[in-house]
Amino acid sequence: MELLWNVFIDLLTPENGWSVRLVVRIILSTALLFGYIVVLARTFGSRTFATFTSYDFLTNVAAGSLVASAILGKSIVESSLSLLVLVGVQASVSAVSARSKRAREFFDNGPVVLVERGQIRREAMRRARISDAILHEQLRQAGVNSVDGVAFAVLESGGRISVLQTPEQGTISRAVQPERGGS
């Protein structure tokens, strides 16, 4: 029990012990970085920290790691510069991807059709590593009580599953039907 207590105390104690200087440094670096992130988001636009695609998600994870390193490290300059470069690269990639199908296909995962006109596409689910349990959970969240009522269930490039229910009248607009590229 004493060993557990000592390990617990070690986990809660900074490497060189607690000091007023350490606490003030953490508070100031956190406040400065928060302001810096707000400036970056305002400068580069709201897409900067969005997670529309898997690339966006990875960028956000890397940005979070850089912010944590800056807050807990000796200086915020290196991490702030790295964060600026990361946000600049992300902005460039998303701008190029918005204009070029080839770039979009390179950087983003395409949508994967999991259900089409009430039929579960088993091979697509296997390739996307989506279990029946996950699919059914997403269908329930969309208010679907039967796969038969689903026009399309699509694993989007950002990892979300979109569910389009079969309309009672008419057809689903081609504008919202998934592209065949990633299915």
Angle in degrees, CA 98, 65, 16, rounded to 5: 165
pLDDT at 177: 66
- Closest to 83 in 3D by CA, of 70, 92, 72: 70
Mean pLDDT, range 45-66, rounded to an integer = 84
Cβ-proximal residues to 120 (8 Å cutoff; 6+ apart), any chain? 114, 132, 135, 147
The predicted-structure confidence for 95-108, as pLDDT tens digits, reads as follows 999 999 999 889 88
CATH topology (fold) of 109-165: CRO Repressor (3.30.240)
Whether the pLDDT of residue 181 is over 60: the answer is no
Report domain extents, the chain: 2-105, 109-165
pLDDT value of position 141:
93
Q: How does pLDDT run across 116-151, given as a tens digit for each residue?
A: 999 999 999 999 999 999 999 999 999 998 899 899
Please give the pLDDT value at position 173.
65
